[in-house]
Structure 1
């Protein structure tokens, strides 16, 4: 069974200061007529992909030898939600880092694109996917009606009053809310909640799907995974044989294997040639990922993939600051669209994602699959050294990561 859990936690603290409104906001730069109704979805999907690549490269430059796993869709959606209440430079910076060009799409179309994307993702059948956004607001604050209305309309978001000054009880209530919406998989998301918090934004995505072609557990054997050079660890290695979607990306010097889930989502496992991981990471782009679907074709393979559970926890404040979202985390922040006054800034932004990869399904179910394969010697592909993993649904990126050591969960 596959299991993905992603969370974005953003805490907003009170901060009093004087701020002169910048009237050259993106909000007023782009007046456009009626566009094709599918265009916002396409542009937002592409922007999420561009953000994924930029965010991945930022992480990999800092954590070259660690596992990486995150949901660009979860992060992008949460910060797009914040633009409903962001103004002036704060707004401009968020949209720029989310890879939106104001000459290409206006704000209303951006929010409409996210609405369409979330609707498409949540309406998919054949697997379980829960995605949601919620604001816990200090009970003394009264968020603007327009902000609340837009939150519901575009992001299916809700705002709940919360007494953060009683931090222990607030923490219990928030953790209970998250646990209920993630099937009890995450029970203690929030720890040491700051009693000065005024607004807490939680964006979560939960994905649970089965392989179209499950692995048979009886063929899973312990084998070596080379974490660095000749240094190896012993891991449970799954084995599958038959027809798989396979291709070789010459420009990235990487082998690509596509494995489909029931319901239409796909996982791309990308194995760079020996010593070519940095080349792959440096050249990784949306264009390459889009090409993978046409690059791969059915081929008789023997495939070895490790079982693993990997999580990634990231302080988005530092990373997004480096990427260009500067004012949001300082006294220059303007989030007056939320509360009516520019008196708040983001003090905390944490993203956590977890992925579990195993054979999926019972041994009996796994053993029932039969297929006709060409009478040729199968190619053997062993993911026994660091590789990339990208989870897509209809070409939209749900998750992205790098497995450098399957035995390390964080």
Structure 2
């Protein structure tokens, strides 16, 4: 079975709140300690903070709609707003960093950008068996001249590009931007921008594309129609994949949830998390980075499993302006915004912020399944794990979270 995460994009068009905080148990570091730390420490800190942001963002979405599917890329959203801090100043900068879980007493702005640079290098390095690439682009009103330092930092830290654009001809600009996005995402997202505002001055796009095959693919011949219980009473018929073999799995007692780790060819992993009946609320409330980190250890024990997981396709679309304002990024969306580091003038603000992500899980080739052949398994009674009610999915690459989601109804794509 192949699992494809087609796209996660953030678009930022420039023209009582509560902060979600998770303690990361890092003490304040002095200069001597910093000098002794390894060169990849910024990468580790950024990776942990993307995880903190992911949990906060998930909980904010889940609190709005308890019955809907969820799917997003915290890495894409976090990267785009970290890029924005290159040009943000004063309270605008402070609010963005706080919501992204960065503490200026623990890490400098330069270290933050260096961490994202290392993270992007990791994501974009060549991989023969896994497609994963992430990028950023800046469309700028053709009469504006971004600061050279901003452009240099955009390129050096985020591999960002900048293109002049005539937004006053909004229809033409929209076509060009959507063509650019489609080209960078293998055509999976064709109409990212709709009703582009002709007053737009700067448009920032961050995208991530992921396409990988399981180490242990499912045989399509074993996929059968089966019931998936959307809630205690309502059930829908879904194509349920079946695999029998040695899978990494465990039980998280603190979250009352079964965790199955499935690895991809190329080094990425997916964690499928199935809460006990009626325990989804407990899982969502108590889920944090500490628990997610421990899932890898928890599921390290291998055992024979009869595993059933539904095929599904999800499209996640979110108004980031509304969600992030609630989370604490306020000024950047109002006339109080100070983004003077971009063009030298502080009058720009974010008027639009849209995030789109797509995930498709299915069998995409009998050859891959047939090539698996027979697996020698221990002589033991297999455990049966069936994902036939709402569950979570977390996709990681070298312990960095790429995607996070909740499947409530596998048949509902939006």
TM-score tier (shorter)? over 0.9
- Aligned partner of 1:337 in structure 2 is 341
Change (3 A) 1:124 1:394: farther
- Aligned partner of 2:328 in structure 1 is 324
SS of the counterpart of 2:77? Answer: helix
Aligned match of 1:71 in 70, 73, 82? 73
Q: Tell me the distance in 1 between the aligned counterparts of 2:140 and 2:368.
A: 47
Q: Tell me the distance in 2 between the aligned counterparts of 1:377 and 1:323.
A: 47
- Aligned partner of 2:168 in structure 1 is 165
Gaps of 5+ in 2: 16-28
Q: Tell me the distance in 2 between the aligned counterparts of 1:179 and 1:402.
A: 26
Q: Tell me the distance in 1 between the aligned counterparts of 2:314 and 2:152.
A: 37
Displacement of 1:124 after TM fit? 5.3
Deviations 1:187-217 (A, max 9, x none): 2111111101000111100100001100000
- Aligned partner of 1:16 in structure 2 is none
Aligned residues: 393
Deviations 1:123-182 (A, max 9, x none): 152201121000100000000000000000000001100000001110111111111111
Task: Say if 2:394 and 2:401, in contact at 8 Å, map to a contact too.
Answer: yes
* Correspondences of 1:10-409 after superposition (within 5 Å): 10-13=12-15, 34=35, 35-123=37-125, 125=127, 126-296=129-299, 297-360=301-364, 362-369=365-372, 370-409=374-413
Q: Tell me the distance in 1 between the aligned counterparts of 2:169 and 2:278.
A: 53
Deviations 1:373-402 (A, max 9, x none): 111111110000000000000000000000
Q: Tell me the distance in 2 between the aligned counterparts of 1:41 and 1:170.
A: 36
- TM-score in terms of structure 1 length: 0.94
- Aligned partner of 2:10 in structure 1 is 8
Q: Tell me the distance in 2 between the aligned counterparts of 1:326 and 1:365.
A: 48
Deviations 1:250-283 (A, max 9, x none): 0000000000100000000000000000000000
Displacement of 1:367 after TM fit? 2.5
SS of the counterpart of 1:58? Answer: helix
Gaps of 5+ in 1: 14-29
Task: Say if 2:260 and 2:273, in contact at 8 Å, map to a contact too.
Answer: yes
Q: Tell me the distance in 2 between the aligned counterparts of 1:209 and 1:3.
A: 6
Displacement of 1:55 after TM fit? 0.4
Q: Tell me the distance in 1 between the aligned counterparts of 2:253 and 2:189.
A: 41
Q: Tell me the distance in 2 between the aligned counterparts of 1:174 and 1:97.
A: 28
Displacement of 1:359 after TM fit? 2.2
SS of the counterpart of 2:243? Answer: strand
Deviations 1:316-356 (A, max 9, x none): 11111111111010110000000101011100001011100
- Aligned partner of 2:23 in structure 1 is none
Task: Say if 1:130 and 1:181, in contact at 8 Å, map to a contact too.
Answer: no
Moved more, 251-260 or 32-41: 32-41
Task: Say if 1:31 and 1:106, in contact at 8 Å, map to a contact too.
Answer: no
Displacement of 1:311 after TM fit? 1.1
Q: Tell me the distance in 1 between the aligned counterparts of 2:62 and 2:398.
A: 26
- TM-score in terms of structure 2 length: 0.93
Q: Tell me the distance in 2 between the aligned counterparts of 1:36 and 1:239.
A: 44
Task: Say if 2:391 and 2:406, in contact at 8 Å, map to a contact too.
Answer: yes
